[in-house]
């Protein structure tokens, strides 16, 4: 397992992170998995044995159930260098202040997560999504307070747009507060929009990048083929994330993953994950699942290196349907990133 610095921080995390959205199974997340304590314990042990040192969860996963199970499992293992990341933003109750990124909710949510996780400190605390109603100055001040009080070590964001991130970093600099060290994004062979702004911003501003749902909800795992959706999958259960806007392009990507995997004697999922791990700007890829074989297969991707030819083949079938949208700014983008980093703008540039 390789370890990389998380943004400008001195914290080193594994190139694979354990995701826990399938753990607990309460509320909306019953659709994506209902992994219980005993199963989750096996999966955590598998990941730790493979060298994974970061476990990512969120308070909204099973309405706190995922955090509770992770807290029960880790217990004394926290002293072995296991890092825990969690998130807050979504409604955790019926009250008007039970969600959002206000000072009131963030501090209360953090304290609740600490109790569920059975720990004194959260290693990476992430705002789960943009809150357009709360002044960003208030959100960043609350996060800064949590760091100064020793409840949180590092802070990050998730699902922010480029301007959201830059505004937050600007406020942190202006007020001399702790800044985001990372962002968590959706980025796959099928969804490469992050190459337009989010990845260049991360490199320019020194942010680590954690990738969620790297197999597009299982669509890039190889078990989904044209006119074939296995029973028991997320899509069959009505889970519609991520949205697929060009189904023919999706199946071309899947066909190429299957072909390369067959030549290498590995799974299509491992090929898709290996492609992501080696993308410039990516720090760690979050893997998850409902079955032991899914974790075992995904963990093997940490040791898979694709050839230049294989990457070119994957690039050829995964070109975004829309070219770089800001064509009139292309020259300045090249000047800023340098000719060697043009891959961040997509292989079509």
| Residues involved in catalysis | 61
Specify the pairing of strand 12-14 against strand 16-19. Answer: unpaired
H runs (alpha helix) in the chain: 37-49, 65-74, 103-117, 136-148, 162-175, 198-205, 247-264, 268-277, 292-299, 308-318, 330-337
DSSP 135-182: -HHHHHHHHHHHHHTTSEEEEEEES--HHHHHHHHHHHHHHT-----E
Q: Which residue has the tokens 């992430």?
A: 126
Q: Considering only CA atoms, which of 44, 37, 113, 29 is closest in space to residue 80?
A: 44
Report which DSSP code applies to 91: -
- Under 8 Å between Cβ of 292 and 263: no
| 336 Cβ neighbours under 8 A, 6+ residues apart | 200, 204
User: Phi-psi bin for 227: left (phi > 0), alpha (psi -120 to 50), beta?
Assistant: left
- Under 8 Å between Cβ of 345 and 281: no
Tokens of 97: 């202040």
| 137 Cβ neighbours under 8 A, 6+ residues apart | 171, 175
| 307 Cβ neighbours under 8 A, 6+ residues apart | none
Q: Considering only CA atoms, which of 12, 31, 13 is closest in space to residue 21?
A: 31
Q: What are phi and psi of 17, to 5 degrees?
A: -115, 145
């Amino acid at each position: 397992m390789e370890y990389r610095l998380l943004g400008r921080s001195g914290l080193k995390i594994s190139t694979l992170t354990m995701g826990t959205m399938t753990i607990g199974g309460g509320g909306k997340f019953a659709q994506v998995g209902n992994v219980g304590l005993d199963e989750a314990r096996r999966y955590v042990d598998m990941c730790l044995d493979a060298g994974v040192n970061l476990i990512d969860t969120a308070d909204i996963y099973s309405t706190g159930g995922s955090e509770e199970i992770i807290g029960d499992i880790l217990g004394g293992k926290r002293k072995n260098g296991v890092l825990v990341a969690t998130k807050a933003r979504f409604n955790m109750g019926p009250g008007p202040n039970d969600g959002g990124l206000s000072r009131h909710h963030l501090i209360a949510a953090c304290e609740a997560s600490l109790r569920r996780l059975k720990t004194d400190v959260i290693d990476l605390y992430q705002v789960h999504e943009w809150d357009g109603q709360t002044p960003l100055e208030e959100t960043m001040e609350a996060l800064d307070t949590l760091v100064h009080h020793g409840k949180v070590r590092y802070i990050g964001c998730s699902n922010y747009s480029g301007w959201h991130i830059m505004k937050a970093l600007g406020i942190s600099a202006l007020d001399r507060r702790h800044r985001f060290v990372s962002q968590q994004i959706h980025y796959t062979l099928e969804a490469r929009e992050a190459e337009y702004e989010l990845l260049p911003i991360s490199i320019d501003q020194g942010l680590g990048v954690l990738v969620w749902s790297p197999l597009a909800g299982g669509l890039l795992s190889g078990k989904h083929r044209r006119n074939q959706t296995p029973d028991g999958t997320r899509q069959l259960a009505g889970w519609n994330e991520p949205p697929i806007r060009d189904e023919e392009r999706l199946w071309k990507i899947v066909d190429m993953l299957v072909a390369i995997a067959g030549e290498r004697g590995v799974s299509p999922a491992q090929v898709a994950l290996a492609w992501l791990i080696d993308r410039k700007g990516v720090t760690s890829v979050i893997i998850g699942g409902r079955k032991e074989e899914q974790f075992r297969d995904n963990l093997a991707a940490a040791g898979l290196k694709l050839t230049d030819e294989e990457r070119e083949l994957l690039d050829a079938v995964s070109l975004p349907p829309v070219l770089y949208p800001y064509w009139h700014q292309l020259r300045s983008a090249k000047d800023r990133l340098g000719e060697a980093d043009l891959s961040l703008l997509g292989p079509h540039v």
